Amino acid sequence: MKRRVVVTGLGCLTPVGNDVESTWQALLAGTSGGAPITHFDASHHKVRFACEVKGFDPAQYMDRKEIKRSDLYTQYAVAASSQAMQDAGLAGGTGYDPERCGVVIGSGIGGINTFEEQHHVLETAGPGRISPFFIPMFISDIASGVVSMRFGAKGPNFCTVSACASSGHAIGMSFRAIQYGDADVMIAGGAEASVTPLSMAGFANMQALSTRNDDPARASRPFDATRDGFVLGEGSGVVILEELGHAQARGARIYGELAGFGMTGDAYHLTGQPENHEGLQRAMRRALEDGGLSPAELHYVNAHGTSTPLNDPNEIRAIKAVLGAHASAVNVSSTKSCTGHMLGAAGAVETVFTLLAIHHGVIPPTINLQTPDPECDLDCTANVPVKRTVAAALNNSSGFGGHNTSLALTRFRS
């Protein structure tokens, strides 16, 4: 018998808010995080805007020495994890057995800020000036390591790296760890801080990004006929997963249940998707089957919805293939319209949003959806939130390399 897994804590740091409540209110208000880049001088770049985290002070979560020895993406992960553990009532180090508590924080790119800075040092000052902390600041797994040390978590500890599906995998594998008895509590999510000169140039030159430099707040427009690419975002999202009996024994608040997980590969193309995104179809079907859910029980799909020409209609066709006639009765939305595409953090942040939709009975909108693409012909929750009881939902993620995840989340029923 697989053990039941519930969500008892949420944390996030996003381009529209530095905690869960401010971010949620910004989503419901239709706030865009898109703005001119401030992290570096982007005046010579093809794309000069992004969805940056704003006003973040790592000193709220880390001491001076820790800040100096950590990349921004790790700082984001510590912030979101600290919020989530506080929200779950576990921040004091009590309420769990450290050897039964694990951490999986995914990241698509890891410490690229550090990589770029230290490469500059190498080129200008020579190898003797490279920081001895370069490697532990740069590697993608270090956020998981730092978070585990912060909370004394000695259970399963690793990083998932699957591009934009990284934190979908992190949550899914944490779910499995609890289901099969390897842990009772998991700190699971993703972090990314990739608004850097090299990242922006790379994504722009592969023509993945929107080029609306004159209108950054309306550049991320999933499902809209005039979309022209995604807007790069950054931040972190973390959820606290708990075995049901463990959560009930300590009287924890439960946001919802993680009922099922599906993961697949496309085996198709470095960055593209097969027609009708059959890999994502299989991931969604597997998540539903794993959770014992029928398509007719779904009320909401938090779509990957990147605002790129190929992804959006492909994902809509995949949803229709899986849900059949019921697809027209389901609300779909892409919260990337507000946050931009947070790469390895996207799946976790969007899991937080999906749980809040279940918890509050409100579906966040797809903003900037002014001219619906005829190929995106489901209810994409255009521009305003929708009050609706959400008993079950899917959260989809896909990544370069052909990685797909789908998480099935439900209202908690004892």
Do the beta carbons of residue 333 and residue 390 sit within 8 Å? Answer: no
State whether residue 374 is helix, strand or coil.
Answer: coil
| Percent of the residues in the chain that have a pLDDT greater than 90, as a whole number | 97
Alpha-carbon gap, residue 161 to 106, rounded angstroms: 6
| Residues annotated as part of the active site | 164, 304, 341
Structure token digits, residue 158: 């690793």
Do the beta carbons of residue 344 and residue 111 sit within 8 Å? Answer: no
Provide the CATH topology of domain 5-249. Peroxisomal Thiolase; Chain A, domain 1 (3.40.47)
Alpha-carbon gap, residue 327 to 376, rounded angstroms: 12
Mean pLDDT of 226-247: 98
Alpha-carbon gap, residue 304 to 9, rounded angstroms: 23
Q: What residue spans define the domains of the chain?
A: 5-249, 261-410
Q: What is the pTM of this model?
A: 0.97
- 338, containing H or E segment: helix 336-339
261-410 shares the fold of 5-249: yes
Q: Would you say residue 414 has pLDDT above 90? A: no
Mean pLDDT of 228-242: 98
What is the rounded average pLDDT for all residues in the chain? 97
Mean pLDDT of 200-219: 98
Mean pLDDT of 306-316: 96
Q: Would you say residue 1 has pLDDT above 80? A: no
Query: What is the pLDDT at residue 80?
Result: 98
Q: Which CATH architecture has domain 261-410?
A: 3-Layer(aba) Sandwich (3.40)
